[in-house]
């Protein structure tokens, strides 16, 4: 298969290239050439800014395309319309955040998606996102924008579009630092602030599992929308921390603090404490994966992911600036305040 990947050098994109090459496909990547240009010297690399210039894609043909970095509908629509007669199949990497109010346990792909106003859409389309857009770039509009991008691809290529609503993607090369923060914090050991309830449901999906499955889905020309949020194994925050502690061989002691305390202390959910969100939003971890499982999605053990993330983290610069997680002094401040409250309650 001749496969075009829009992106291809950051996190999921890197794993997609590796998965496609491992399966013997001919890969072309299209991006701005600004990140890790030394990667994959054996593949074709086309350069261009998808917002303003898609010329490098004109007059070419591929069997399928995987779009890893679409955030704004008009931008995604431009690439989908240009490629509509040049490819048989278009995968768009969407997000579980596309759902309205986040799906409750058991919700599937038929649940309604979130929406934004025309004014909010115009504002999002006017953002100069610079170096690398993320969910944070677009704030509360992120999920609705992803849903609109899905619709744009389907409009350009009806019946030939695959929308993957991914949950929290983890693994090596994870620039968001959400899961790497926890693995490294557990490895440090000692008393560690643990957010909310130990039995809170969480889910993560290794980028390699998502990438390998996505390539197979493109090979088989699957169309439609699929959730891909993580294994149906009842993973909780406590079990996730326990597995990380076993992998790291650390003496970490988890101090569970209440959600009410975290809210009172103005701790930022998802960023200062990755994977923790107020209870009413925890449906982000509870959407049904049944459709993807029936289509062959599989998951490796969490311990394997944690072990490899820990090893990869050790190769990063010692002055790496963490994009997620509590700063050590902030964590100690919160632990002192929590202990003080517990003493008063005795």
In Å, what is the CA distance from 133 to each residue of 28, 127, 128, 137, 338?
22, 10, 9, 6, 36
| 8 Å CB contact between 177 and 184 | no
Residue 104: the pLDDT is: 64
Strand ranges inside 32-137, DSSP E: 44-47, 64-67, 89-95
Confidence of residue 280 (pLDDT cuts 50, 70, 90): confident
- 231 lies in which domain range? 2-345
For the chain, count helices (H), then strands (E).
12, 11
Least confident of 8-17, 55-64, 137-146, 233-242: 137-146
Task: Encode pLDDT of 215-260 as tens digits.
Answer: 999 999 999 999 999 998 999 999 999 999 999 999 999 999 999 9
* Assigned token pair, 188: 């440090």
More confident: 293 or 33: 293
CATH number of the domain bearing residue 75: 3.40.50.720
Helix (H, G, I), strand (E, B) or coil at 28: strand
Q: 43, exposed or middle or buried, with CB in 10 Å at 0-12, 13-18, 19+?
A: middle
Instruction: Please give the share of the chain, as a percent, with pLDDT higher than 90.
Output: 84
Q: Compute the average pLDDT of residues 129-157.
A: 82
**Strands of the sheet with 64-67, listed across from one edge:** 44-47, 26-31, 2-6, 64-67, 89-95, 161-166, 224-228
Residue 237: the pLDDT is: 97
Residue 131: the pLDDT is: 53
Residue 257: the pLDDT is: 97
Cα–Cα distance for residue pair 76/244, rounded to 1 Å: 38
pLDDT at 135 over 60: no
Residue 102: the pLDDT is: 72
Measured between its terminal Cα atoms, the distance across the chain in Å is 66
pLDDT at 133 over 80: no
Q: Compute the average pLDDT of residues 297-322.
A: 96
Q: Average model confidence (pLDDT) for the chain?
A: 94
What are the b/e assignments for 53-64, b being 16+ CB within 10 Å?
A: ebeebeebebbb
Q: How many domains would you assign to the chain?
A: 1
- What 8-state DSSP symbol labels residue 56? G
Least confident of 128-142, 196-210, 230-244: 128-142
Cα–Cα distance for residue pair 197/216, rounded to 1 Å: 37
| 174 phi, psi to nearest 5 deg | -75, 100
């Amino acid at each position: 298969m001749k496969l075009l990947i829009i992106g291809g050098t950051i996190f999921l994109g890197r794993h997609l290239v590796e998965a496609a090459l491992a399966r013997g496909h001919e890969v072309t990547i299209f991006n701005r050439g600004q990140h890790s240009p030394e990667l994959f010297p054996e593949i074709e690399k086309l350069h261009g800014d998808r917002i303003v210039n898609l010329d490098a894609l004109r007059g070419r043909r591929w069997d399928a395309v995987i779009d890893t970095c679409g955030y704004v509908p008009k931008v995604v629509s431009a690439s989908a319309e240009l490629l509509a007669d040049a490819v048989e199949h278009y995968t768009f990497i969407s997000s579980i955040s596309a759902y309205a109010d986040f799906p409750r346990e058991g919700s599937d792909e038929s649940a309604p998606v979130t929406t934004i106003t025309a004014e909010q859409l115009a504002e999002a389309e006017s953002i100069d996102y610079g170096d690398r857009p993320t969910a944070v770039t677009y704030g509360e509009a992120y999920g609705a924008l992803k849903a609109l991008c899905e619709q744009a691809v389907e409009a350009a290529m009806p019946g030939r579009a695959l929308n993957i609503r991914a949950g929290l993607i983890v693994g090596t090369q994870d620039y968001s630092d959400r899961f790497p923060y926890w693995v490294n914090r557990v490895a440090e050991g000692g008393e560690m602030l643990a957010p909310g309830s130990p039995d809170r449901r969480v889910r993560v999906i290794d980028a390699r599992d998502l990438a390998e499955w996505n390539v197979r889905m493109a090979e088989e020309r699957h169309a439609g929308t699929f959730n891909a949020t993580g294994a149906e194994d009842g993973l909780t925050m406590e079990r996730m921390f326990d597995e990380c502690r076993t992998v790291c061989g650390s003496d970490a002691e988890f101090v569970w603090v209440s959600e009410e305390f975290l809210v009172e202390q103005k701790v930022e959910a998802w960023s200062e404490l990755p994977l923790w969100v107020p209870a009413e939003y925890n449906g982000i971890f509870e959407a049904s994966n049944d459709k993807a499982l029936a289509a062959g999605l599989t998951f490796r053990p969490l311990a394997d992911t944690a072990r490899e993330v820990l090893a990869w983290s050790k190769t990063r610069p010692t002055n790496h600036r963490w994009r997620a997680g509590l700063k050590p002094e902030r964590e100690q401040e919160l632990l002192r305040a929590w202990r003080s409250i517990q003493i008063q309650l005795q």
